[in-house]
Amino acid sequence: MLPTTETRTDERQFRRLVGTDVDQALAFFSGDYDFRAPRVRRTRAQAHWDFASVGDERMSLRSSRFLVDLQTDSRVDDQFLVAWMRGGSSTITFDGESVALEPGVPVVLPFAATYQLHHRDIALNLVHLDRDFVRAVTGEDDFAFEALRRPSAEGMRAWQSVVHGYSSTWLDVDHGMTSTIRRDIAEAFVTAAVAAFPQRNRWRSSVTGTGPEHERLRRALEYVHAHAREPIGTPEIAAAAGLSPRGLQQSLRRHLDQTPGDLLRGVRLDGARTELVRGDRDGTSVADVARAWGFGHLGRFSATYRARFGELPSESLRAR
């Protein structure tokens, strides 16, 4: 194994390791990803692994490769991990669902819960975001992402824009970076992740049960959260869930005591509030945010917003 660890004056730490010893690789990766009872099968005469990382206390950008067949449990409690595959194959099993990673498609790995992974000749890019920093940026003490959900097309664009716009600057450890710039870049990654990936528990946990109807209703909720900024309504939500419009109405009323309109309006209000709370007071318009989230009448939007959140949209924006 050839290790290199170098700490720069601006507090970013650079790590680079390369090796062929499988036991050393497992010991190293277990330190960051808490591998539990890993099972390894060689896929070639000589195994190979490498790892590179540049990070500080808020964020790190990482790449790793492990050319073996690896199955193990894993768990990370203090950081949110966004991962996308460059090569090989990987299946993540969590909460009874198995998801095969797709090349170039980012997902948030399960947080603060044990999951099973099966990597074969894997090459991954990862962004680690400190849990407490993410929660400080979002203003939510219990914030977490919904694991293993693909971003929407708009979310993918937001995420890729930040990755392409800032990664080379972050990884350039030969040039110092002020603490302000480092924080701004880390916050840009957090903001893009929040835009790209749905939050955990806020809506999926509201549907209890494991039957087919429960899963169809979860699909309806997932569709609404992914497409709330688009011109959708009951027919589109019902089709995404595999229900008739009448079936959707009945399921929502039975399990959540809501109509499809109630659901869509609530998700849009939550999205508008998130955008206002995080917005720049000088660069954000309440009217623009309202229109972006499907509210065409500013007065009705303000009244509905105040009834839900106890303050006017302008007050949420000024609180930033």
**The pLDDT of residue 247:** 95
CB atoms within 10 A of CB 16: 15
**The pLDDT of residue 142:** 82
List pLDDT tens digits, range 220-273. Answer: 998 898 899 999 999 999 999 999 999 999 999 998 899 999 999 999 998 899
Q: Where are the domains of the chain?
A: 2-196, 204-318
CATH number of the domain at 204-318, out of 3.30.930.10, 1.10.10.60, 1.20.1630.10, 3.40.50.2020? 1.10.10.60
**The pLDDT of residue 118:** 98
**The pLDDT of residue 205:** 58
**The pLDDT of residue 199:** 74
What residue type is assigned to position 156 of the chain? M
- Report CA 61 to chain centroid distance, whole Å: 15
The structure tokens listed for 84 are 């996308």
- Could you give the count of Cα atoms lying within 13 Å of 276 in the half-sphere of its Cβ? 27
**The pLDDT of residue 300:** 94
The structure tokens listed for 245 are 């419009």
Cβ contacts of 31 within 8 Å, gap of 6 or more? none
**The pLDDT of residue 201:** 53
The structure tokens listed for 3 are 């290790």
Cβ contacts of 150 within 8 Å, gap of 6 or more? 105, 107
Q: Are 134 and 144 in contact (CB under 8 A)?
A: no
Cβ contacts of 123 within 8 Å, gap of 6 or more? 63, 64, 65, 85, 86, 87, 88
C-alpha R_g of the chain = 22
Residue segments in the chain with a per-residue pLDDT below the cut of 50: none
**The pLDDT of residue 248:** 95
**The pLDDT of residue 306:** 94
The structure tokens listed for 32 are 């960051």
**The pLDDT of residue 269:** 94
**The pLDDT of residue 150:** 82
pTM: 0.68
Domain 2-196 has CATH 2.60.120.10: yes
